[in-house]
Amino acid sequence: MTTTRTSRTALRTAALLATAALAVTGCGTDGTAAGTPDAGPAAANAKVPTTDVVSAVRKDPAAAALLPADVRARGTLALASSVGTPPGATYLPDGRTLAGQDIDFADAVGKVLGLKLTREVAGFEAILPALGSGKYDVGTGNFGVTDERRKTLDFVTYINDGQGFAARRDSPLKKVTALTQLCGLTVATGAGTTFETTLEANAHLCKDAGKPPYDVRTYADQGALWISLQQGRSDVVMSTINGLRYAVAQQPGLRFLNEFKRLDVGFAFKKGTPLAPAFRAAVNRLKKDGTYDRILKKWGTGPSALTASRISPPEIR
């Protein structure tokens, strides 16, 4: 269960391009200082943090006992990770080492459960279907929990993130409270995401309002997405709240607009998985021993903390 050399190289190249696009530090042209809430959580330092917050985690026998017997005996799980930009998941400059909030949470949960997670990098849009087919046991990729996804998948939540917008600083957009504000604009977003789904499902709003439609352009390569905005080929980006804040803090001339919709984010599994109770117990164990807060502090995502992990909760409305 491995990707081909060509596909691994392509994924790694895409992620490195995305990281490079975030590697410029600077204050905004409006005078907002790096490190302020508007600037984002990591504006003061463009380097991807490498603080070790996982190695001290120990196995919790009570949580591990919730695993199916065959999984305990096997001691491994197949994990698919989508790699894009921090704080979710990215490559360090060596082009091999993965780092990110998703990476830390998965590794920490594996330690709590006494499991070796055999990680394979896969495209965001490919992971969820592959879970249903049994190719992977679990997936990470900042997967928002939606009612539509819950029809065919199970989730174990570990953070709260959601949908937001960013634009160039010369954009007349200041805050997007209704999608009709995007009418006539080009919107860049990730392929296979809740953002793409939201935009497609509401495309009729512009026509209903007698306005020109917005043009949705999807990118599997996050580096290309940001370049399209910087070069004016896109007017606005719709993406994760945490990812947008992190990105605009490190790219000159861009501005985080606002949060549009909050979503819980979780580990993704095929529907009916017996793994969910153990993963929920593991996340809650991390909260109890302080590892959870240390991971959020490392990635500057404290506002994304959950009170407790849940299994496939209803979509936040």
Confidence of residue 36 (pLDDT cuts 50, 70, 90): very low
Residue 203, number of CB atoms within 10 A of its CB: 17
Q: Which structure tokens are listed for 260?
A: 């549009």
pLDDT in tens, 123-164: 888 999 999 999 999 999 999 999 999 999 999 999 999 899
What is the pLDDT at residue 5? 41
CA distance 203 to 195: 12
Closest by Cα among 123, 269, 125 to 191 = 125
Helix 222-230 / helix 5-21 crossing angle, nearest 10 deg: 40
What is the pLDDT at residue 6? 42
- pLDDT above 60 for 275: yes
CA distance 142 to 83: 10
What is the pLDDT at residue 261? 92
| Range among 45-59, 117-131, 274-288 rated most confident | 274-288
- pLDDT above 70 for 208: yes
What is the pLDDT at residue 70? 97
220: helix, coil or strand?
coil
Closest by Cα among 18, 16, 42 to 248 = 42
Residue 71 phi/psi, 5-degree rounding, is -70, -40
- Environment class of 157 (CB within 10 Å of its CB; exposed 0-12, middle 13-18, buried 19+): buried
Contacts of 301 (CB under 8 A, 6+ apart): 41, 87, 101, 159, 161, 242
Instruction: Please report, rounded to a whole number, the percentage of residues in the chain having pLDDT higher than 70.
Output: 85
CA distance 71 to 102: 22
Contact 162, 261 (CB under 8 A): yes
* pTM as predicted: 0.80
Better-scored residue on pLDDT, 260 or 25? 260
Closest by Cα among 85, 97, 93 to 52 = 97
Q: Which structure tokens are listed for 34?
A: 């790096």
Mean pLDDT of 283-300: 97
What is the pLDDT at residue 38? 26
pLDDT in tens, 216-263: 999 988 789 999 999 999 999 999 999 999 989 888 999 999 999 999
CA distance 260 to 176: 7
40 DSSP 8-state letter? -
Residue 44 phi/psi, 5-degree rounding, is -75, -15
Mean pLDDT of 264-291: 98
Q: How far is CA 79 from the centre of its chain?
A: 15
Better-scored residue on pLDDT, 37 or 45? 45
- pLDDT above 60 for 27: no
pLDDT in tens, 57-74: 999 999 999 999 999 999
CA distance 103 to 87: 10
Please report where in the chains the tokens 């990098």 appear, as a residue. Answer: 121
Mean pLDDT of 43-65: 85
- Which run of H or of E encompasses 263? strand 254-270
Residue 77, number of CB atoms within 10 A of its CB: 21
- pLDDT above 60 for 276: yes
- CA atoms within a 13 Å half-sphere pointing along the CA-CB vector of 24: 14
What is the pLDDT at residue 178? 96
pLDDT in tens, 155-180: 999 999 989 999 999 999 999 999 99
Q: Side chain identity at 204, as an amino acid letter?
A: H
Contacts of 123 (CB under 8 A, 6+ apart): 11, 82, 192, 220
Residue 306 phi/psi, 5-degree rounding, is -100, 155
